Structure 1
Amino acid sequence: MGRTITPYSRQMLQIEENLSDFRKALRKSDQEIFDDLIRTAKLQVQAGVMASLPYPIDSMILSMLIELKKDITKLKLHLEKIPDK
């Protein structure tokens, strides 16, 4: 019999729980940003399941970075549309 692998979504929750003391030590405004990043990682759970990385935090961080890059790209496009003074 093979060993049972913890589901990726459960591993994500474990990581979030492991970082709870870190989160508590952050300023209130930074806690909100931290929570947003965790939510961002959860949006990409399907990609994390398919990644088969040994450490789920890796795919969580990559998911966060992808979403941040998308936001930056949207902002750049928006800024390019603003006429110069």
Structure 2
Amino acid sequence: MFVLVLKYKKSLEEVDKELTSHIDYLEKYYKLQKFICSGRRDPRIGGVILCRVSNKEEVETIIKEDPFYFKQIAEYDIIEFSPTKYAEGFERFL
């Protein structure tokens, strides 16, 4: 499991110009059941994605498809972790 922390490198105006294409990217990986949840950081300086994949190489491949990444609008911090405790029902996401 991975937590992807995005930090904007450009203005919110630039972020908003690519927001629709970023949402399309997110939807693709929700349909493939790779993304579990995502959202904006508060204050709005980036975002967070909870990602279920088997290894860091797969995460890096997925990230390269994000317009925020390849248009250099945001940088990604990749945090790998192994869930050992979770809410009832969450195990279906592991």
Bigger fraction of residues in strand: 2
The structure carrying a bigger helix percent of its residues is 1
TM-score by length of 1: 0.34
TM-score (norm 2): 0.32
